[in-house]
Chains A and B, each alone.
Chain A
Amino acid sequence: MPQLPARPPAAPVSPGVVPVDRRRFLGFVLGGATLIAAADMGLMPQRAEGAIPTLPGPAELYDLNDMLTDAARPTANLLTITINADGTASFALPRAEVGQGITTSSAMLVAEELDLPLDKVVVALADARPELLFNQLTGASNTTISTYTPIRVAAAVARTALLEAAAIELGTTVGNLTTKGGEVFDTLGNCVGYGDLAAAAASPVTRGVQVDLKPAGEFSVIGTPRNRVDALDAVTGRKQFTTDLAVDNAWPTMVCRPPTLNGTPIRILNQAEVEAMPGVSDVVLVDTGIAIRAQTFGQCIDAVRSVRADWRDGPVAGKSDQDIVDGLNAAELPLPALPNTPLSKTLDLKFTFYFRSNSPMDTNSAVADVRADRAEIWAGLKSPIVAQQEIAKVLGLPQAKVKVHVVTAGGSFGRRLFFDGALEAAKISKAMGKPVKLMWHRSDDSRAGRAHPMCTSRVRATYALGQVLAFQQAHTSVETDYRHGLGEIITAMATELPPGVGNLGFAETIFTLTQEVPYNFGAVVQTLTESDQRFNTGSMRNIYSPDVRCAGELMVDQLAKRLGKDPYTFRKSFLRSSRALAVLDRVAQAGNWGRSMPAGTAQGIAIHKEYKGVSAALVEIDCRPETVNRPIREGVTGPRVTKVTFAIDVGLAINPTGLEAQMLGGINDGIALALTSSLHLQGGHFVEASWDNYFYTRQWNTPPEVNVIVMPSDSETPGGAGEAGVAASFAAVACAYARATGTVPTYFPINHKAPFPFTPKPTVPPIPQSPTNGLKLTY
C-alpha cells in the first residue's frame, strides 16, 4: 500500500453559509459536458484595515495596485478551468504574456490547488472579453496581485468536483479520498485519474461550490523555483509570436512613414511605379503613411524605400532636444521656499531625464483580416478590450463583430499597453480589402513608436542638527499618454480614490498613487506637472519611479555627505519601513558594503518601495579611463557596472526563479537608464533607428557578477515583479557613478550629450536597406 498524502477533502458545500474564513470562497461548476470550474475574476481578498501610520503619503495607504485590483473586483465574470479527458487542465488567462512569466506563475497556482503536475496545466491567453470591463489590462505589475485568489478558487472548485465524482466511481465518500499528481486515491490505494473523471464530474447545470483554499503551510508548488512553461518552445524556435502566425492570405505589410515625427501623408507621387515592383500586391495611403503589401517583407522594404510622397510636417518638425528641455524648464512650477540659515541649510538638485524608447525585440506587429461585416485581429495586446472598442469604432463595425486574439509577445516594457500596430493593421486591411501581416521595421519602432517622456526632477531638502526637516520633489514631464485602458479605469474609479486624489488628472492620479518618499524626512511634498502633448509616450518598465527614485536617492546621498554620514548608515537611520530596512541590510551585508575599492571605482546603494514590495540594490561601478574607453566596434562602452547585489521582498514569491529573472532584467534596464540608453530628438524626429544607435545594455556592458536575493516572507499575498527591479538599480548605479567620479550628474543617461558613435540613418527613405555581406561575416 503506498503511503498517501494526507490532504483533507474540501469542506462540504453548505448553501447560504457566509464565508467566514479568509481561505473560504464560493466558486462554480459550470453546466457542460466536461468539468468546467469557475471563479469570479472579481474575487479578491479585502484590504487589511490596519492602523493608520503617521502622516503617510497617499501611495502608502492606497496605491496604484489597489486601484487596479479594486477596479477588477466588481466585474462579476468568470475565470474558468477545464479538466480535459487527457488529464490536463486548461485555462485562458485574461492577461498578456510578454516575457514576464505570468503563464508560468498562473499555471503554478492551478497545479498547486488541483494537485496536478505543472506540465499538465495548459495556459492560453484569452481573446478580448469585453464583459471583463477593466479586468483584462496587463500593467503596473498587477497580474499576480489581482489573479492570485480567483485562479486558486477555480482550481479548488475543480478539485472538489473531481473528488465528488471519484467518490461515486470508487464507491466511497469524499472524506476517504485524497488527491496527488492528477489522481484521486481512496484509503485502499485504488485510484482514478482526473481525465477519467472529467465527464463524470461535469454538471448539467451551473452550481455554486464552496471551497477552502490550501493553507500556505501545505504549499508544494507555490514558492518553489520552477522553470518557464514555454521554455522548451522558446529554445527550439517553436514559440510563436505575431509575425510567426500563418493566417490565410495575410501577406507581409509595412508602412513608409513620414520624415518627421507624427507627420502625415498628403499624396503618393509614384503609386504605379511602386505597385509594379517585384512581389508587391497593394499600395494604399493611410493616415500614418503609405502601406505596402508584398509577398515577402524584403520586397516591402524595397518598395517602402522607393516611395516618393508629399508629407505634412508633424507637430515637432524642426525641433530638437533643447527645445523640449526649454519647454519643460518653462513649465516648472516654483518650489516653496525653504530656510537657508546658519542653523538650517537647504540643498537644491535638478536632473533632466531624456526620452527613452520602450521598443521591445518583437516590433509593433499585428495580423488583421477586415471584411465588410466583421474583422479578426491578432496581436500582443495588454489592453485588448480597449483595442477592440477602438478598432470597431474606426472600422464602423459593432464591437461584437471584431474578434481580437491576444498573442504572446516578444517583450513589452509598456509598449503593448497601446495597440498602435493593431489599429494600423486594421485600417490597412480595410483599405486594401485583404488580410495583412503588418510589421514595423526596427527603425519605425524606435523612431515612431512610443517613448518614455522626457522629464525633469527637482529635489529640495532642508537639514539641521543631523535631521532632515523637509524634502520636496517636483517632477515636470512631457505628458505620459494614459488615454487607453488606464484612463478609463481612473475615470471609473474616481469616487473610490482617497480624498484629494479623485479630482486630479490621470497623470497626477497615477503619480500620487505610485510615489512615496520612504524616509523620515519631516515635511514631504511630491508633485507632478505635465507640459507637452506632441509625443507618442507611455510607460517604460514603470512610469515615474525610476526617474523619481534616481533623483531622490542622489539627494539622499548628498544629504548623507553633508551630515557626515555613510550612505548606508544614513539610509538605515531614516528609513520608515522595516521591510525596506531588511532589504537594505541584506544587500549591505551580502554585497560587502564599504569595502575598500580603488580610485575611480565605487559602490552605490539605493532602495525602492512599490508594487506591495520593496527592493534594494548595491552596485559597484568602474569609471577608470581604461574601462570607460575599452574598444567595442560600433558599441557604447563607458563606465561598467561590475557587480550588483539585489534584494527583493515581494511578499509571497510564487516562483522565485521567475522573480529572479525579472530582477535581472530590471537591473540591466537600470544600468541602461543611468549610463547609455536614450533617444535624441533632432530636426523633428528621433535619431535612433537601430539597436546600434539606441544603446540598451549589451553583453559587454552587463555586470559580470549579479546576485539576486529573494527575501523570505511570511506574507500570504504576492506583490508585483515585472517592473520592480528597475528603480533601485537605476538609482544605485547613479549614486555609484557620483561617488566614483566625485560628480553628481545633472542629466541621464550620462552619455546623452556625447558625440554619436554612429552615422545617423536618413529619415527619407525611413527604412534602411538590408546589407548584402552576410556571407562575409560568418564566425
Chain B
Amino acid sequence: MPIQTFVLNGETVSVDVADDVRLLWVLRDLLGVTGPKHGCGINVCKACTSHVNGRAFNPCATPVGDLQETDEITTIEGLPATVGADLHPMQEAWLDRDVAQCGYCQPGQIMAAVATVRAAQREGRTVTDADIEGIRNICRCGTYNRIREAIRAGAERM
C-alpha cells in the first residue's frame, strides 16, 4: 500500500494506507487524532471541519491520496499552536460563553468559526450575520445563539 505523507499539526506524518481512504478515518482510526468527529460521512454536518493550509475543509470528503507532502493539516488539537498559545482566541471565546453542551460538534464549530472570521478578514471586513448564517455546522443540542456570540467575541481577538 502507498505511504501517505503530509504535515499534521506541525509535524510530518507518514501512514501506510490506500489513496482513497478519506482523511477523517486516517486521522481517527490510524493516527488516533479524534478531535474531528464523524457526524455524517458525507460533508453535510461539518463535525469533522479542520484546516488545510489555513482554510476550512472536511476530512470526511477528502481522499488521503489528494494531499501533497507539504499540505499542512490542522485539527482542533493543533489550533492553539497556530497562534503560539495554550488556546486560540476562538477557544477562549467559547469558554467565556460556555458554548459547548454535549461538545461533540464543537471542535468542528470552532474550526469553522476561525476560518469564517479569517475569510472576512481577508476581505478587509468584520464577520457579519450572513457569514455566520452561512456556517452549515449542525449543533443538535441547539447552542447556536452562544456560538453566534462567541464567534463575534473571538473575531475581535483574532
Contact = CB atoms under 8 A, between A and B. Distances in A.
Interface of A: 98-101, 227-228, 230-241, 243-244, 246, 252, 278-279, 295-299, 301, 359-363, 409-411, 413, 439, 441-442, 635, 657-658, 661, 664-669, 690-692, 696-700, 702-704, 706, 767-775, 777-779
A361 B56 contact: no
Contact of B102 (A99, A439, A664, A666): A99
Given A234-B106, A702-B144, A779-B56, A691 B29 contact: no
B37 A410 contact: yes
Nearest to B136: A698
B64 to A, nearest CB: 9
B142 A668 contact: yes
Contacts of B23: 774
A225 B41 CA distance: 37
A214 to B, nearest CB: 25
A772 to B, nearest CB: 5
Contacts of B22: 298, 770, 772, 774
A474 B144 CA distance: 35
B12 interface: no
Given A244-B34, A442-B42, A411 B58 contact: no
Given A690-B40, A690-B44, 9 more contacts: A237-B77, A279-B21, A298-B25, A442-B45, A635-B136, A665-B143, A699-B136, A778-B52, A778-B57
Contacts of A301: 41
B41 A231 contact: no
A697 B147 CA distance: 14
B127 interface: no
B42 A706 contact: no
A643 B55 CA distance: 33
A611 B105 CA distance: 28
A772 B75 CA distance: 19
Interface string B41-74: 1111101000010011111111100100000000
Interface of B: 17-18, 20-26, 28-30, 32, 34-45, 47, 52, 55-63, 66, 75-77, 80, 87, 91, 94-95, 98-107, 110, 115-116, 119, 129, 132-148
Contacts of A772: 20, 22, 61-63, 66
B100 A234 contact: yes
B138 A696 contact: yes
Contact of B57 (A231, A657, A775): A775
B143 A235 contact: no
A225 B43 CA distance: 36
Nearest to B105: A361
A298 B21 contact: yes
Given A296-B26, A664-B142, A777 B61 contact: yes
A523 B24 CA distance: 59
A661 B61 contact: no
B143 A661 contact: yes
Nearest to B98: A227
B139 to A, nearest CB: 8
Given A298-B24, A773-B61, A411 B94 contact: no
Contacts of A698: 136, 138, 144
B43 A777 contact: yes
Contacts of B115: 779
Nearest to A662: B101
Contact of A235 (B29, B106, B144): B106
B103 A410 contact: yes
Nearest to A230: B103
13 contacts: A227-B98, A234-B100, A237-B35, A237-B107, A361-B39, A410-B103, A410-B104, A661-B143, A669-B142, A699-B137, A702-B142, A704-B148, A768-B42
A771 B87 CA distance: 32
Given A664-B145, A702-B144, A361 B37 contact: yes
Contacts of B94: 231, 235
A779 B55 contact: yes
A442 B39 contact: yes
B38 A699 contact: no
A697 B136 CA distance: 11
Nearest to A358: B140
B95 to A, nearest CB: 6
Contacts of A246: 32
Nearest to A761: B42
B6 to A, nearest CB: 12
Q: Sorted from nearest, which 5 A-B pairs have the closest CB atoms?
A: A237-B35, A99-B102, A410-B104, A668-B142, A774-B62
A774 B103 CA distance: 24
Given A661-B143, A777-B58, A779-B56, A363 B38 contact: yes
B146 A661 contact: yes
Nearest to B48: A774
Contacts of B20: 298, 772
Given A235-B110, A361-B102, A442-B41, A297 B25 contact: yes
A696 B41 contact: no
Contacts of A236: 35, 76-77, 80, 87, 91
Contact of B145 (A228, A232, A295, A703): A703
A667 B142 contact: yes
Contacts of A657: 98
Nearest to A362: B104
A442 B60 CA distance: 13
Nearest to B97: A227
B133 A699 contact: yes
Contacts of A235: 76, 87, 91, 94-95, 99-100, 103, 106-107, 110
Nearest to B142: A668
Contacts of B39: 361-363, 442, 691
B37 A771 contact: no
A698 B134 CA distance: 10
B89 to A, nearest CB: 12
A227 B60 CA distance: 31
A691 B60 CA distance: 15
Contacts of B135: 699
Contact of B104 (A279, A299, A411, A696): A411
Contacts of A99: 101-104, 141
B60 A231 contact: no
A779 B119 contact: yes
B72 to A, nearest CB: 12
Nearest to B66: A775
Given A99-B141, A411-B140, A661-B98, A777 B29 contact: no
B103 A239 contact: yes
Contacts of A767: 41
Q: Which of A235, A236, A692 has the most CB of B within 10 A?
A: A235
Instruction: Give the residue among B26, B42, B94 with the most A Cβ atoms within 10 A.
Output: B42
Contacts of B62: 772, 774-775
A630 to B, nearest CB: 10
A690 B45 CA distance: 8
Contacts of B44: 442, 690-692
Contact of B29 (A233, A297, A441, A778): A297
B101 A232 contact: no
B57 A691 contact: no
A174 B129 CA distance: 59
Which of A665, A690, A706 counts the most B-chain CB atoms under 10 A from its CB? A665
